[in-house]
Each structure stands twice: as C-alpha cells, then as structure tokens.
Amino acid sequence: MATRDFNYKELEKKLQNHDSNKVSDLITHLKYLQTATKKDKSFTCKWFSFLDIDKVIILFNKAISQNLHIDGKHIIIENRAGQIRLSYDYIAYKNKLLTVYPSAKFDFNVVYKGDDFSIAKKDGKVYYDHKLNNPFDNKDENVTGVYCIIKIDTGDFFITLDIQEINQLRSIATSDDIWKKWFKDMCIKSAIKKIVSKHFDDIYTDINQNDNDYINLENPIDIELELKQRIEKIEDIGDLKVFYQNELPKVTNKNSFIKSLSIHKKNLITRDNVIIDEYTKLLKIKETPDSKKLIQDFSKNNYLEKQSLFEKLKSN
C-alpha cells in the first residue's frame, strides 16, 4: 500500500503563530485522513494524496475567521466530487452562535413515536416539554419530528419540523449520502439551519454558502431517494449516459431527474480534472520525457485506475 507523505513539520512551522491546541487538533485530523482504512485495507480517504499544505492552511484560516477551528469532530476536511473543503455538523452550528451570544441556551432533539412533546410561546417566552417514553427504541423509522429552541437575552426562538417536512428537505437535497449515514444528526442540523437562517442569518452567511450541498432550498432535487442514491453511486460518465437513457422514460419528475444527473456529471468532471491536474504537476516536477503520452494514457483510465496510478507516481 502506498504511503501518502505529508510534511507536518512544515505545516506546524507555517502555523506557529496560531493556538497550539487548534494546530494539534488539525494535525490529529489530518493523520486520521492519511491513515484511515476500510475492511479491505484500502484507504478510506483516497483523495488525501491531493491535499497539500497551502490548501490545508486556507481551510484552517477559513475556520479561524469564523471563530471556529478544524477539530476533526464537528468541523472536518472532506472531499466532495473533487472539491476539498470544510464540513460542519450541527454542534458546529451551535458553537458558532455561542461565539456571538456566549450566554445563549440551546436545546434540540428528535421526537420519536410514543414520546410526549408539547411546545408553546407566551409573552415572548418559549415553554416546552419532551418526555422520552421509550428511549431505547430510537430507530430512524420511528422519528416523527425534530425541534430546536434558542434563548438569548433579547428573546426566545423555536422551530419544529414534522417527519413530512424532514422527508421533503431530504428529498430536495443535492446529495443523499450524508442523510443515509446520519439521519438523526441531519434532522437536527436541518432544524438548526432553518432557525438560524430565519433569525441569525448574518452570523451564518459564510457557513451556509459552504454547506448548502446537503440542504439547498435554492436548488431542489425532488426525485425519489432510491433513484438519487443510484445516481450517486455512478463513477463513470459513460455509465451515467447509459443510466439516463434507460431511466428517463420511467421517471415522472423528468426536470429534477435531469438536474440531478447534470449535477452529478459536473461533480464527476470536476473530480477527474482535479486528479489529472495533480498527475500533470507530478510529471512536470519529475521532468518525464514522455509525459504527454503518459497524461493521455492516464486520462483514458477510469477513476479508480487514475487514483492508483497517481499514488504510485507520487510514492516514486
């Protein structure tokens, strides 16, 4: 298995003026991305090979500018269709508000079948009660809703989403993979995103712009989840074209189907262009005489073959 080198000493040197604990959290996260493997011993984050110091510093400074930092838990570095960027969970959204309103009180949870839940607002104050009657049977299919309450010095705010609203948000998300893996967390994140977008929009503008691939009401993809998941599994543009030809006559919402395919095609092209660019850079550094032919041959391979060739070249 190829080792993916990363110059941690150089990174520490360039970040020496920052909080050492935040730098330490960043390095711990990077080492996890570098070494994490699947059951078959292949790397979980194959894209780590494309990660360089300059890109890491840009992402680190972006989080710092938001009064947050990359802790490897609530804010992580991820690759989505060739674009390496930050990803925030619902705790990161909570922490962001606390940087502006340190005394803010947050509460949120999903409600399951059999729970007793009530909420009311009187004279600007929110009153609610949530009793978990069967706390050891909290399965995703038993979720009936989600709520979020925020209390600051100037007032109380709350939002509730029932399961129909949750499913609607999931159905129009541009990607379903995170929903499938972390349904409860995404329910809570949906509620928090909606309440802060309504009442604290100025605080979250930058985060929301970066995070809208998961829940983007401006660009809805309203097709069946099973169909969306099948599209996201396609790794080759040729296979995507075949899928389009076979499935188009069967779908009812053709516009959303075509939009979903277009987004995935764009992601695949971006992903392929990134690895071709990185491969080309390595060849130039090595000054390989027949680099032009190597690049042409490399471009003809599928993505997994490209990754394997890229890692082999980098390790040499």
Contacts of 218 (CB under 8 A, 6+ apart): 212
pLDDT of residue 216: 45
Residue 136 has pLDDT above 80, yes or no: yes
Residues 212, 215: Cα–Cα separation, whole Å: 5
Tens of pLDDT, residue by residue over 239-280, are 888 888 888 888 877 877 887 788 778 878 877 887 787 778
Contacts of 126 (CB under 8 A, 6+ apart): 119, 120, 149, 151, 156, 157, 158
| Phi, psi for residue 238 in degrees, rounded to 5 | -60, -45
Residues 116, 205: Cα–Cα separation, whole Å: 35
Is residue 24 very low, low, confident or very high in pLDDT (cuts 50, 70, 90)?
Answer: very high
Question: What is the average pLDDT across 303-307?
Answer: 77
Residue 218 has pLDDT above 60, yes or no: no
Residue 214 has pLDDT above 50, yes or no: no
Question: What is the average pLDDT across 130-147?
Answer: 92
Could you state, in order of their start, the residue ranges of all structural domains in the chain? 8-88, 101-211, 225-315
